[in-house]
Amino acid sequence: MARIPKRKIRIRRGDTYVHSVVEYNDDGTLSDLTGNTFLIQMRSDSESTTVVATFTTAITSALNGAWQFSLTATQTAAIDVGVYYYDVQRTYSDGSIHTRFQGEAEVEADISRV
């Protein structure tokens, strides 16, 4: 089984969060994302049944493997400061699902508040 890469992300509470990604095939070519979808959820730990946040995902250039995931400022404002865990599941056009990467999501305190 392939090892799943780990990536730590930092989210500032109360800010809009956007993370851009470019997917590559094993041979180094850009991955075609046509017909693919992504699911990203954040939880307090990997076994928790409670979803802290579900990221919005958007493919920005299917033929160039480009996509992004995001949370609105309203969503991040509702998350307590702390360390959470997330993973990225990609559903391919053939219906297969593979976890692309995972890691910690650190939610940092905001200073300025509306």
Whether 114 is covered by a domain: the verdict is: no
What mean pLDDT comes out for the span 86-96? 96
**Residue 22 is assigned to a structural domain of this protein:** yes
Indicate whether 38 belongs to any domain. Answer: yes
Within-domain flag for 3: no
Q: Which domain holds residue 102?
A: 9-108
CATH (domain of 99): 2.60.40.10
Mean pLDDT of the region 92-112:
94
Let me know if residue 2 belongs to a domain. Answer: no
88 has a pLDDT exceeding 80:
yes
Q: Which of 66, 53, 73 is nearest to 114 (CA)?
A: 73
Q: Which two tokens stand for residue 72?
A: 């609105």
pLDDT of residue 98: 94
pLDDT in tens, 38-83: 999 999 998 999 999 999 999 999 999 999 999 999 999 999 999 9
- Average predicted confidence (pLDDT) for the chain: 95
What pLDDT is stored for residue 5 in this prediction? Answer: 87
What pLDDT does 92 receive? 95
Other CB atoms within a 10 A radius of the CB of residue 68 amount to: 15
- Interatomic CA distance for residues 112 and 68, integer angstroms: 26
> Is 4 a domain residue?
no
Task: Choose among 3, 2, 6, 1: nearest CA to 102.
Answer: 6
Domains of the chain: total:
1
**112 confidence band (pLDDT: 50, 70, 90):** confident
Calpha distance 60→57 (Å, rounded): 9
pLDDT exceeds cutoff 60 at 1 = no
